[in-house]
Structure formats: C-alpha cells, structure tokens
Structure 1
C-alpha cells in the first residue's frame, strides 16, 4: 500500500523509469511479434499440395539439422509410383526448383527469386497456376512464363540458365511467378529431387493420408503437412529472414540493457532524494526488509504499468517496424505481421522483471538508511563509495577489459558482439566508479573560477558537486550511456567501412574480377568466355561423418590445374580431421543430384578460405550439380577482358571490394542508426527526467538560497552551470568508455585484413550526441528549476 501511495505522490520521480520500461517492452514486444510472424511460411506455389514427402536431412558440422539430401531421379520416380497407389491420393508431382532468369533488351530482369524460379510444368498443379494464354511447353525449346513478364505465346525470350543464356519460345503464360519447362527438360536441368507433392481426393483428410504415406515412405523420407511444408522455403528467403531477425534482436538486446540501466539510475537518484523520508520510516519501526520490499514494490508497479503501455505500443509500432525491414530488404516476399498473445505477454513479463532488477541495488541502499537521518536537514554523503559499489564497479571494469582484449583476437562474427559487451561493461563501470572521478575533476575545473570570480555561482557549484558525488553520478549516467553508445556504434561502422574494403583490395591486388550484375551468380558461358583465372563452382556435398552420420559441407569445383584432377579431392586440415581421413584415403561423396562417387584424397593442406575446405574438379561438380552458379571469376590484370556478357560486371580490386562490402555496409549502417536512435532516445528520456527530479528535489535548497538574497537569475545561472558541468563529465566518461573496445576492434581488423587500421569516428554522429546530451540536460534542468521558482518569483 505504501509503495502504491508513493507511486501516486511521486509521479515525476518515476516518469523516466515508466517511459524506459514502456519503450523497452514495446521494443521487445515488436521484436517477438516480428520473430513470430517471420516463421517459415508455406510457399504460395504449394498451396494446393496438402501433403509433401521430402528426403532425409543431413546435419551441418555443428550437428544441427540442415540441408535435405536429394533423391536420385530413379529413386524419386519409384517412390512417387508407390505414393500414387495410396488410397486418397489423386496424383503425385515430382517438384524441382532451379535457376532461371529472363533477359530483356540484353539485360537481366532483376528477380530475387531467380535462383529457384525454374520448375517443371507439372509443378503448376501445386498452386494451382492457371494457363492464361497459349499452351503448356511441349519441347525443350519452349517455356511457359508469368503473364506479368509482358510476353505472350510465340514470343522469343532469352532465359539465362546455369549453363548460359538460351533463346526460347514462350509457349504460354500463367498467373503465377516462375519459368515452367517440360518435365523432361526440368529433370535434365535439376536431376536431384527434394520434394514429391501429393494431390488428394479430399484435402481435408490429409492427416489420414499422411499416416498411410509414412508407412510407404519408411526411413527414406519424411511426410509433412500443414505449416511443416515450409521446409521447402527458398534459401534466399531464409537468409533475408535471418538478417531481419539479427537486426531486431540487436535492437532488443540494446534496449534491454539501456532499460535496466535507466531504471537503475533513476531509482538510485529517487532513493537518494528520499533519505529523510526513509529515515523517518525506520524511526517509526520499519525494518530494512520492509524498506527493500517497498522500493521493489514501487519498481514492480512502475514495471507493470510500463509493461501494459509497452504492449499496446508494440502492437501499434509493428507496422512501422515491418516497413523499416521491408525497406532494408530483410524480409520474406510475403511477410505480414500477425499479432498473437505470447510475444506481448513475454515482453510484459520481461519488462516487470527488468524494472525489479534495476531497483535491486537501490532497495539495498535504501535499507541501510539509519533512523537518525530523519532528523537531518542537510543530506551530506558520508560514504559515496560503498564496498559493494567498489566490487561491482571493479568487476565491470575488469570484465570490460577482458572483452576488449578478446575483441582484438576474435572472428568477424563475434567481434561486434564482444565490442558491444565491452562497452556495456565500461558504461556500468564508469557509472559505478564515477563518484571517485567526479571529486578530482570538479576540483580541477572549478578551482580557477572559485578563486578568481566574485560571483557566488562557481563556489556553490563546486560545493554542491563535491557534496553530492553520488547524485552527480546518477545524473551523469544516462549521458555516459548516450554518448558512449553513439560513439561506439558509429566508430565501429566507420572503422569497418574502411578496413574491410582496404583488406580485400590488398588481397586482390593485381587482379580484375568479374562479378554478378543483377543475377545471383555467373553462368558457365561467362566463365567459358574468360578461360584464364580462378572460377570456382560452389556446391553442397554430403559426407558420412564417423559417429554422426550424413553431414553437409560447402565444396568447390576448381579449374585450377593444381586441384582439377578427375577422381581426386583436396581437403583442408580441419575438414580432414572432422571426417577422419588422411591423404591417400578414399571418401564417398554424395552430390545434390542424389548420386555418389568415391574420390581419393590427394592432399591435405592447411586451412585456407581462399582455396576452400573441399576442392575437386569443376567438371565433376557440374556433372552432378547442373544448377550451380559461379560466384566470381578472378583474372590476372594482364589478361583482363575489355567487355563482359550481360549479367556480369568487370571490377578492379578496389571497386570489387567496395561493391562486395556495399550490401553489408548498408545493413550495418542501418542497424547502427537504429541502435543509436534507441540508445540516445532512451538516454534522452533519462537525462530529462533525472535533471527534473534533481530540480524538484531541491525545493528546500532553493528556498534557503532565496531567503539569503539569491535572485531568480542567480539561481538559474547556478543550475545551468552545475548541469552543464555534470553533463560535460558524463560526455567525457562516455567518450572514454568507447576507447578500449574500439581499439580492440581496430587491432583485430588490422590483423585480419593485413592493413593498418586506425579508429574512425563519424563527426556528425558524435557531435550530435554530445551537443544533444548537453542541450537536453541543461534545458530539462533549467525548465524544471523555473517551474519550481516561478510561484515565488511572481510573489516577489
């Protein structure tokens, strides 16, 4: 009851905590809503196929289920025949997907789905797609296409395939996306089978038919119905969803940290301003445990109110988040937000837990207030640094140093996370240890002013800050977070933007490169036109891993004479160790067409990403993977071609490095701006609220100063100066906490890229964060002080 009464009476004191929880829950709620909505969906082209049979999965090298292991054509046809005889099955369709892309006016028609756009004509029955004009393809030279492409029956259309462009006759048009070849032609273009679809007499009885189908399929495959049919989701869709999930997860984690940080700082300041009140409660018999429960109860109340408001805000903000993700091209084509209860409930529970967690330190501090403090008019901090604060600050500092060191030696995937973790630790350490630093800084800065100025303001500012170092630390805390995160994130982005292209340019010096241009890869025709240079053909292969069963890995087909040897393979040391093979042994490789070959391991070499972990003949890869596309052709500058075919672009080393990093840079920059907005936005709320709390909590002080002859102008000058100095301390500490993680990142990038990488910052972002923090702090403090003084000024 007392906690609820305090919440009603001290609404201003809890405003920042309420808003922080509200926005934190909203951000986490939006993240969970997007994650829930972004689950793999059944492709629209499979809508009329209530039952699918897919081959077994292989595990990846970490042991998690990964790629489907395609059946060979003969096995798939035999299985489809057995499924055809099941009661309730009207027909079966062997479904295929492979690369096909239209070229118009000599240029590729951009299409994200091109890698999986090719199908056999029978697959139109799975949507079903209707024939709008013309007829089904009857020969290898015919293709049916989407009516939206703007061509009609009898037109000639250049269709790019993995083998190269082919001019084909449009046999007809359908009302859905894709290129539909004869089933025989599709089987030649993609002989491996990843799915057999069953069309049923009664789709409503899919469950019963599935049971009979499982008995027929046995352990040769898996029968899926309902949402499980999303197992055939194209790889580019899965990749886009992964990028979107990573982006919003980073925002949610940062929001979670800043929420805890803001709530803890706000409640610490609120508790410090209530020492007399808490001392009075202790004087009338309140036990420390009761004081702790009161503080935690207040936090739980704030958390519950903020959680409810945040849940509503999450639903309202979900369309905006969808629009942002769509604009960044990190969502599936048919992505739509669906609101369900569990994401909002989970976010609300996290919000209440975060509020209580943030109040834990404040509750322990409040429980140490002595009853005698209820009799004190002046609140002088006798021990700004407690043992617990020393231990927590030292631990955070030590952990931050450790993470900063690890940042320098970590891989690319972990470097950003470690740098962010290090910055979080340093921000916490700076806040906890700030009372130790504030005293010396204030003495140094204010000593000349106090000696030379006849004004009272510098003396009062010096005395106030030295007397209340914990309060100063609490008001500086959100500024430390705002400036720290803004500088860190912008610094990481700018440093990586320079380092990665520079490192790639150095590695590729002396070469020109042919890269895809609005296509997912390069065809064999482009490779054949440029016979000199490296042109690896990537594929996925399945190997039997001792003790783990079938495992999928990335492999390369090379035309380099060192590796292009029939019947042989070259392995990296890690891959050879994983599969327990040595040079001279044989290994059975299953390819994506479902067939297997036995290869001799000719050599085991040190790991080299540029060479590949498993390298074999390019011709062997093409024989088994007829839909594979070459990523890049690397050509010595002396043999550089003058022109390249449509769908390809010629680059020098620098332009290729910049273009290659462009997509990552765009996403990274977008993520950075969103993270900075979250961090600075949260911290701005806390800055405004803590300054206002400090002003409202000092009514008695202002009354004494007015009684002693202080004018409103003098008091406003005093408050503005004190706030500016406090904010400046926060800015300096915010800048300092970014140096170790950024230095660790630069050192790591120097080692990885083989170039000298120096720290780079965005002057605009850093300047905006610093000036914005100073402005918000001074404006909030002056405004709140004016509201406190205005009635008395008017009366005077």
Structure 2
C-alpha cells in the first residue's frame, strides 16, 4: 500500500500540490503566531531610567489593598496619595530629600504633535531630579529663575524663547537625550508652583533607615535597585504592551488555527472525494477496505509530514518580519523580538499533521466500505453531498451557536459586546454553514442563476446546471469565500456596530450647547471654573472630573469602575440626559452615588461600601441606577467624593434668549489662559465619536489579513483542483461544437457563480452574528442599528472573484491546448 501511495502522489501531483500548499501555509501561520505569542509572554528585565542614580525612592500610596476571605485584593488607585508630610519630615532628618514632580508642557505651534523640529510629549520636572537619571549639562547652564528652563535633546538651543502653556520661558541650557522622555527642567520653586503635589521623592540615606522611618505608613513604598523602575513614567507600559500583544497574537493564533484547520480539512476531503474512480478500481482489483483506507492515510501522512516541515521553516522566516511590523506600528515596545522557543514548532507541526490525517479519515473510511460495483457507479456521478456524520456535525454546531446566543441574550447580553466573544462566536456559525452548505448550494445556485439561465444562448443554463449538479464541488470551492466574507463582515461589522452604538449613547446623553475640555491631564484650576460659571448667558454650567470607585463584590472580587465627579447635580441634570433605569439625578449628594446595573447591588436606596479614587473607604446610598449600555455608563459621585480630581470638562447650556455666538466667545475668553477647547454640540459629538483602538484595529487587520491570504491561496488551490478534475467536461463541450473562448467564458462564469454562493453564505453568517449583537444592544437600552462594512466586503468579494476566475480559466486554457479527443479520454 505504501508503494501504491507513493505512485499516486507522483501521478496526481496537481491534486496533492494544492493540499501541500494549503497545509504548509497553515502550519507557517501557526508557527508565526505561536513564536510571537511565546516571545510576548514575558518582558525582559528593564533597568531604571529616570532614577538610575538615585539611592532610594519613596512613593506614596498608589495601590488599594482590601483583605478578603481568600486573600488580599489589589487595584491601582486613580488618585495616588502623596507621602504624608510627617513622614517627609522624618526622612529629612535622615538625609537630603528631593521631591519629584512631573507635569505636561505644551509649546505654542505644536501642542500634542510631533514634527521634525519638535519632539512633542514634553514633560516638566524640577531641576534637582535631573542628577538622578543622570542628566548632565551639555550646553549652557542650569535654570536659576522662574522663566528659565533646560531641555533635553537638540530641538531647542540656549537663548531661544519658547511660548508654552506654562508661560514664556527662555532656554538656558540643554542636556543629552536619554531616549525615554523629552524633558523640560524648571527651577525647583517654579516646578512646585506648577505642580504643587509630589507623589514620590528621592532620599539620600541608608535604605534600611528609610524603611524603618516609613514602617507605620500604610501603602508607602521604598524602592531600591531594579524596583526603582516603578518610579519611572508609566512603568506598567511594557506590561500593558505585552498584555495587548498577547491578546493580539492569541486572537490571531486562534483564528489562524480555525481557518487553517477548516480550509485544510476541506481541501483534503475534496481531494479524496475526487478519486472515487481510483478507489473503485482498487476495490475491483481485489483491494480490501482496510488496504484502501491505509493507502489514503499513507498519502495523507506523507503530505502532512512534508507540508508541516515546510510550514515550520517558512514560519521561522516570517516571524521576525511580524515582530518588526508590530514594533513599527507602535503595538510593541522597541525591544520586542522573536525569542528562541521550540514549543511553537512542535505545536504547529503536530497540529498540521493531525489536520492532514483528520482531513482524509472520514473520506477514506467511506471509500473503504463502498462495494466495487457501487464505487464504479458513483465514479460517473457525484456522490450525495451530505453524509450522516456531516448532518449531525452541522446541525449540532448550528444548534450550539443558536442556543449559546440565546442563553447569552437572556443571561448576560453585555458578554456579546466583548472582543473575545465577537471574534470567537462567528466560528461556530461559519463551521455550521460550511458543513450544511451542500444542502443549500443547489437551490441557492438556481436562484442566483435564474436570470442568466433565461437569457438567449445555452451559457446561463450550463452554468446553472453544472454548479447545481456538482453541489459538493461547489460547496468545497465556496468554503474559502464563505470563511473570508463571514470573518470580514462579522469582525469589522462588530467594531463598526459598537462604535455606532457608542455614538448613539453620546448623542442621546449630550444636552449641553457647548462643551469645554481641558488641554491635558492637569485640568482646569478653580479660577478658570469660576470664570466659566460667570459667563453671561450661560444657563447651566456643570464641571466634571474623572475619578474611579472601587467595590468588593461577593466579598472576593475588587472591581474598579470609571466615575465622573460633579460639583452640582442640578447642573448635571440640565446639561446631561443620563439614561436612568431608576431614581433621579437630582437626588445625588455627598452621601450618595449613581451606579449602573452591572453592579451586584443596584437598587435605589441601598447602601454600598465603596473605596474612592484615593483609597478612602465610604458607605454611600444609591441615588439612581443606569442601564449597562455598551459599558460606558460608569458611576457618578459628587466632587466631595473625588478629592484632588482635576476638572477636565465643563458642559454649558445657553439661557433662553441669549446669543449662542456671544456665549461661545465669552467661554473662549474664560478658558484662554488655561488653553481649553470650546466646542459646540455638533463639533463635540463629531470629536467624541468612538473609534476602534489602535491595538484592536491592528489585531483585526492582522486577523483578516491572515484569513484573506490563506483563503485566497486555498481558493486558488481548490479552483485548480476542481478545474483539472473537469477535463472531460471541457472536452465534451469542445466536441459539442463550443469554441475555445466559449468554454473559457463558461468556466469563468461558473467560478463567479461559486464565489457568489460563498459570498451569500458568508453574508448570512455575518448578518446573524450582527443580529445577535443588535439584540444585545437593545436589551442594554442602546437603540442603534447594525453596521455592515460594505466597502470592505466588496473588496474581499472582488478579490475572491478575481482569484477564482484566474485560477479556473488559466488551467482550463492550458488543458484546451490539447485535442478534444485526447481530453475526452483523459483521466478524471
């Protein structure tokens, strides 16, 4: 049987080449994503940056720690606390204490933007902390007066005057760029005026003495050695980047595994199904069912081993290119590279081999149990497309998809809005649609070709009959198109639908005529807020601050919720239409809170134990309850329950009879010194329209790019296999009098029909997925409509159509170069 298998591989190289390419590409993609996932599983040890030369750094409390029956639970505080003044006084007796301050700085002409001459993202510090990086003067001198600064890098030179949001300053010195920040150093006194609160400080003393001095202060941390890295700006950025990359590569790997298994199994099954005549001849020659099965399995094993090995080699070449892409796109830190890992190769190789064997098992079993005469009889016509196993699997997957969707809608509709859910859920429906495709291919093909079949000439009728008669072949060729269209419609449609739902919420919630936003995280000071309140013609002025509230649910889970703090609930009610399920906005006071239905306890009047943004524990009464929405319906408290939170937004309504343009001009004058932005309602809604995040967008593009590349190649392979299998049909058409160009046009038309079948099935899957998401949004009180990405879908379908036509017409043209009589005698 092994000899027969090797001879078969050599004689039917066209069929097995398609299977080899499909499998090797799938293994390569699994290898690439596996290597990337393994390399992003842990960050390398990073040395301290800003405080590399500091002996000891002391930080105030930045973590909330709550004891529970199963251990302490922790969350990062939204408003970290400063080191207590008494502790600072004790530390000063141990040695020199330098208070660190960091605040954003913007330069006129380039706020928030990077250009060739301006680095952007400037951050201010007191000059005394520069020595701990260490920074050293490269040109000029240190700052001595309030209007003098030292900058890092070469974007400004000594003697230049800069207009900043902190006033006009003169550059008196520069320090070399250290690569981790664009710093502006002020005098210590000026930095203290610009940023009064210091959250961490450097102590030049013995570390053990410092630890002893802060022993009684809960939450205060003493950082030495590599732990000083935690005092750098956003020390968690590497961990966040790794978490995002793990999610990105995990999603890409999961979709890659699904698409590769799906397409490879379909390709192998189709390749085996083409060979019914061979199986019939083998059975007639005396081969036993077991020998036929072993022959097919040996062929699958040979192709699987070679293709899996080739895929691993190809993946090792492609993985560094993927790493370079994610770094260039800003999705990964600059240090990210592909590490030396072996398990991704094993996982990809054995997965590919198992898929290859799994793809031929069912077909080989069916071929082996068929009687010789029956096999020869079936060789002249296509076997029934639906076996009992296919029926059972297809119906089971369809029911599983529908039942899980129903359960989610009833039990937790918000789950359907999560990225992991809307990425994974389409796979159930795609698998079910592919398995059940032969059932609908014939009626769908007849429907799509109804009009062409009634046009003059026989071409339309032949297209209809050929495509509908070969239902199994049509379903196999349409499978790659189904996968690509369904994934593109489901994934891009899900993000577009969520964005539109978020925009709908913002529109429904915004009642203000003008929205004033702060230029940076420092927010508006009290003087600016008072000037805004005093603007003539403003009926209601509602300043709000970002904060957070933490709650312990079920005594074991510490959960943080984003919150907004408002100074005047009545002004909030006038400028914002909060969606309420119960209660009133005006009932909010310093002893109450507005929550949403996601909270474990969400009945008006109930009292809940919470921790505020700075870690202060409070018990508050629930004044009102909001529906869940898309997850953006957070929590509202009063400003008294958000100590230290800066005002970042002020909503303003215009009094009846007042001139809106005059109010807008007065608002701009009021925020002028602070650099705020005044937007009318239309402009604010346009700027606040939700957009897909960079990581999510890149992840979707990566997933869809992999799917399109893989299914495109699979589509070409399957079309070549299907066309090469129809040489007799082409010969019959030529002998019946059809010209060469008529046969080629007919072949291209059949390919377009098959692509249309796959596109329709894929659209049905995408619509069903988005319908589930639409139902979830309706249950969450968000009344928006699903959004199908028609432009992207048209591009995907058009690409599939071009590939299908080329992959079918070109082999047919090559085959037609032989004489029709020779084609008629060609092996099927």
The TM-score range, normalised by the shorter chain, is 0.7 to 0.9
* Equivalent in 514, 528, 531 of residue 529 of structure 1: 531
Please give the per-residue CA displacement for 1:305-330, whole angstroms capped at 9, x wherever unaligned: 2122122112234323432x23xxx5
* Equivalent in 802, 805, 812 of residue 775 of structure 1: 802
Report the CA distance shift for 1:412/1:795 in structure 2 as closer, same or farther (over 3 A): closer
Unaligned runs of 5+ in 2: 534-539, 571-584, 824-828
Q: Cα distance, 1:472 vs. partner?
A: 1.8
Name the counterpart of 2:574: none
* Equivalent in 85, 102, 108 of residue 104 of structure 1: 108
Q: Cα distance, 1:346 vs. partner?
A: 1.9
Report the CA distance shift for 1:307/1:520 in structure 2 as closer, same or farther (over 3 A): farther
Count of matched residue positions in the alignment of Structure 1 and Structure 2? 756
**Residue 307 of structure 1 pairs with residue 312 of structure 2:** yes
Residues 91, 213 of structure 2: 8 Å contact kept: no
Q: Aligned equivalents of 1:767 and 1:391: distance in 2?
A: 33
> Where do 1:267-278 residues align within 5 Å?
267-277=268-278
Report the CA distance shift for 1:61/1:419 in structure 2 as closer, same or farther (over 3 A): farther
Residues 158, 167 of structure 1: 8 Å contact kept: yes
Local SS of the residue matching 2:647? coil
> Where do 1:455-604 residues align within 5 Å?
455=458, 464-517=466-519, 519-520=520-521, 522-524=523-525, 526-531=528-533, 533-539=541-547, 554=562, 556-560=564-568, 568-572=590-594, 592=614, 601=620, 604=623
Q: Aligned equivalents of 2:296 and 2:128: distance in 1?
A: 73
* Equivalent in 439, 444, 455 of residue 441 of structure 1: 444
Residues 482, 734 of structure 1: 8 Å contact kept: yes
Name the counterpart of 2:260: 259
Please give the per-residue CA displacement for 1:711-740, whole angstroms capped at 9, x wherever unaligned: 645543453343333222222212222211
- Of residues 717-726 and 221-230 in structure 1, the stretch that sits farther from structure 2 once superposed is 221-230
Report the CA distance shift for 1:376/1:750 in structure 2 as closer, same or farther (over 3 A): same
Q: Cα distance, 1:693 vs. partner?
A: 1.0
Q: Cα distance, 1:682 vs. partner?
A: 2.2
Residues 15, 689 of structure 1: 8 Å contact kept: no
Q: Aligned equivalents of 1:794 and 1:52: distance in 2?
A: 89
RMSD over aligned Cα atoms: 5.0
Name the counterpart of 2:434: 431
Residues 477, 718 of structure 2: 8 Å contact kept: yes
* Equivalent in 788, 793, 796 of residue 766 of structure 1: 793
Residues 127, 186 of structure 2: 8 Å contact kept: yes
Q: Cα distance, 1:114 vs. partner?
A: 8.6
Report the CA distance shift for 1:195/1:362 in structure 2 as closer, same or farther (over 3 A): farther
Q: Aligned equivalents of 1:526 and 1:129: distance in 2?
A: 36
Name the counterpart of 1:633: 650
Name the counterpart of 1:127: 133
| TM-score when normalising by structure 2 | 0.75
Name the counterpart of 1:647: 675
Report the CA distance shift for 1:472/1:40 in structure 2 as closer, same or farther (over 3 A): farther
Residues 720, 781 of structure 1: 8 Å contact kept: yes
Q: Aligned equivalents of 2:97 and 2:55: distance in 1?
A: 12
Q: Aligned equivalents of 1:24 and 1:337: distance in 2?
A: 19
Name the counterpart of 1:205: none
Q: Aligned equivalents of 1:77 and 1:675: distance in 2?
A: 52
Q: Aligned equivalents of 2:64 and 2:108: distance in 1?
A: 39
Name the counterpart of 1:150: 156
Name the counterpart of 2:185: 180
Residues 53, 221 of structure 1: 8 Å contact kept: yes
Q: Aligned equivalents of 1:449 and 1:550: distance in 2?
A: 64
Q: Aligned equivalents of 1:337 and 1:564: distance in 2?
A: 51
Name the counterpart of 1:203: none
Q: Aligned equivalents of 1:440 and 1:197: distance in 2?
A: 80
Residues 48, 125 of structure 1: 8 Å contact kept: yes
Residues 481, 762 of structure 2: 8 Å contact kept: yes
Please give the per-residue CA displacement for 1:409-443, whole angstroms capped at 9, x wherever unaligned: 73388355444434322222221111111233345
- Of residues 270-279 and 410-419 in structure 1, the stretch that sits farther from structure 2 once superposed is 410-419
Report the CA distance shift for 1:152/1:578 in structure 2 as closer, same or farther (over 3 A): farther
**Residue 687 of structure 1 pairs with residue 741 of structure 2:** no
Name the counterpart of 1:613: 635
Report the CA distance shift for 1:269/1:143 in structure 2 as closer, same or farther (over 3 A): same
- Of residues 19-28 and 478-487 in structure 1, the stretch that sits farther from structure 2 once superposed is 19-28
Residues 7, 14 of structure 1: 8 Å contact kept: no
Q: Aligned equivalents of 1:758 and 1:586: distance in 2?
A: 36
Local SS of the residue matching 2:546? strand
Residues 24, 311 of structure 2: 8 Å contact kept: yes
**Residue 401 of structure 1 pairs with residue 429 of structure 2:** no
Local SS of the residue matching 1:346? helix
Q: Aligned equivalents of 1:277 and 1:506: distance in 2?
A: 67
- Bigger share in helix: 1
Local SS of the residue matching 2:312? helix
> Where do 1:286-365 residues align within 5 Å?
286=291, 288=293, 291-292=296-297, 295=300, 298-323=303-328, 325-326=329-330, 330=331, 335-342=334-341, 345-346=343-344, 349-350=347-348, 352-353=350-351, 356-357=354-355, 360-365=358-363
Q: Aligned equivalents of 1:521 and 1:355: distance in 2?
A: 58
Q: Aligned equivalents of 1:556 and 1:135: distance in 2?
A: 44
Unaligned runs of 5+ in 1: 85-90, 201-208
Name the counterpart of 2:234: 234
Report the CA distance shift for 1:65/1:587 in structure 2 as closer, same or farther (over 3 A): closer
Q: Aligned equivalents of 1:754 and 1:634: distance in 2?
A: 23
